[in-house]
């Protein structure tokens, strides 16, 4: 989120919570990306805040619906705030949703087997849901169009632009043509979207849901997780890992990218992709 928007976003979250009868006098920033994630105090509620945009309301409603249905199915997901109605709030140019706050457990690293087991439970619940979602290749195409757009990626050298574009196009096609089973996926179940709590691992942030092979989700998790997930196609997983690496590398070259140290990481990841393709 733009730095200039943060104070207004915080004020919108506090005002929304207060209007619903929650005591919200202060806010701590938990995460800042395309959405601002806040811990509101003293009511101890998590607020996810995004600027109003053409699809913002729709995305937020979709995330609430998915989270509710997965929670009802017993999946390991973070719950909505139970003291208020589960809906999307719009205030002062922002879309706000309210969620349960979980005290993090940081005393140990997450064993890969636990991560794989939790992701397997999530996938099992997702297989029971029939909701319209994009295909994973739609996200690949968005990354490919970004790479092809010289105005949006002006610092990307021609050789690197060709490398990324070819990798995204070819791997997306190869994975789709493998013909394996596809299902509803989280879309980005990386460690940043997993809470380590006293209740075990809980997944958050379902706005990236898409349809595809489970290997696409596993490619976002730590490498060792795939070794503990049953029934994985290792060739597809390796292709997905390289595809995801190319996607996140493309985003680092967006002229508007605000990821900390993003350009250095983009350069480093280009080297990794080139080395992997050489192998």
Q: Is the pLDDT of residue 149 over 80?
A: yes
Q: What is the pLDDT of residues 11-38, one digit of tens each?
A: 999 999 999 999 999 999 998 887 899 9
146 pLDDT tier (thresholds 50, 70, 90): very high
The C-alpha atoms of residue 61 and residue 275 are separated, in whole angstroms, by: 41
Q: What is the pLDDT of residues 215-235, one digit of tens each?
A: 999 999 999 999 999 999 999
The C-alpha atoms of residue 32 and residue 55 are separated, in whole angstroms, by: 19
Q: What is the pLDDT of residues 73-129, one digit of tens each?
A: 999 999 999 999 999 999 999 999 999 999 988 766 889 999 999 999 999 999 999
* For residues 154-162, average pLDDT: 95
The C-alpha atoms of residue 168 and residue 192 are separated, in whole angstroms, by: 23
Helix ranges (H only) for 134-261 are 136-148, 158-177, 214-218, 234-252
How large a percentage of the chain has pLDDT more than 70? 99
Q: What is the rounded average pLDDT for all residues in the chain?
A: 93
Beta-carbon contacts of 229 under 8 Å, excluding residues fewer than 6 positions away, are 116, 119, 120, 214, 218
- Determine the pLDDT at residue 195: 94
């Amino acid at each position: 989120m733009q730095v200039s928007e943060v104070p207004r976003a915080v004020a919108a979250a506090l005002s929304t919570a207060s209007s619903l009868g929650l005591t919200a006098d202060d806010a701590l920033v938990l995460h800042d990306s395309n959405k601002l994630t806040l811990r509101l105090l003293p009511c101890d509620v998590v607020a996810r805040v995004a600027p109003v945009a053409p699809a913002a309301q729709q995305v937020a409603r979709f995330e609430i619906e998915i989270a509710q249905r997965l929670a009802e199915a017993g999946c390991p997901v973070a719950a909505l705030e139970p003291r208020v109605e589960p809906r999307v709030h719009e205030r002062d140019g922002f879309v706000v949703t309210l969620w349960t706050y979980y005290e993090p457990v940081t005393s140990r690293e997450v064993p890969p087997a636990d991560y794989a087991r939790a992701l397997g439970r999530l996938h099992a619940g997702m297989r029971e849901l029939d909701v319209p979602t994009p295909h994973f290749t739609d996200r690949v195409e968005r990354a490919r169009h970004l790479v092809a757009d010289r105005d949006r990626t002006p610092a990307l050298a021609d050789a690197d632009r060709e490398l990324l574009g070819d990798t995204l196009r070819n791997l997306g096609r190869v994975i789709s043509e493998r013909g394996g089973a596809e299902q509803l996926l989280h879309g980005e179940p990386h460690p940043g979207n997993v809470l380590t709590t006293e209740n075990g691992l809980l997944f958050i942030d379902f706005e990236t849901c898409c349809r595809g092979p489970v290997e696409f989700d596993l490619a976002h998790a730590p490498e060792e997780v795939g070794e503990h997930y049953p029934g994985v196609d290792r060739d597809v997983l390796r292709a997905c890992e390289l595809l995801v690496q190319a996607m996140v590398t493309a985003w680092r070259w967006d002229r508007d990218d605000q990821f900390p140290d993003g350009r250095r990481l983009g350069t480093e990841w280009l080297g990794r992709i080139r080395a992997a393709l050489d192998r």
